[in-house]
Amino acid sequence: MLEPDEYYQSWCDDEGDPYVKMPGPFGTEIRVFNPSVEWHRLKWHRDTESRTIKVLKSCPGWFFQLDEKLPMALQEGMEFEIPYGCYHRAINKEASSPLEIQIIRKPLN
């Protein structure tokens, strides 16, 4: 059995992101976030392309927030857009199970 620190590290990829990423269907990417991720690891950031996010698995306690918007609860099956260059973050408010999302990148025109 893994010790707590080893367990947490097993959820982080080589760059130290707070999720494990893997290839998804049709060139998409799947990310799985650890429910015990520390709040300071879920940082405000922006991406270099627009994205569609599809929530594959969630539970009460997982939220998403775009810059200058209120956080929204993440529910399985929901889809939303993240515009190019828009600051955003995931939020964990005591979620009890992992968050799994599918990222569909949109090329810049």
The pLDDT, as a whole number, for residue 57 is: 96
Mean pLDDT by groups of 10 residues along the chain of 109 residues:
44 68 94 92 93 97 97 97 96 94 86
Q: Which two tokens stand for residue 7?
A: 């367990």
State the Cα–Cα distance between residues 72 and 51, nearest whole angstrom: 17
The pLDDT, as a whole number, for residue 60 is: 96
State the Cα–Cα distance between residues 11 and 37, nearest whole angstrom: 9
pTM, two decimal places: 0.82
For the chain, the structural domain boundaries read: 4-106
The pLDDT, as a whole number, for residue 99 is: 96
Q: Say which CATH architecture domain 4-106 belongs to.
A: Sandwich (2.60)
State the Cα–Cα distance between residues 92 and 65, nearest whole angstrom: 11
The pLDDT, as a whole number, for residue 8 is: 43
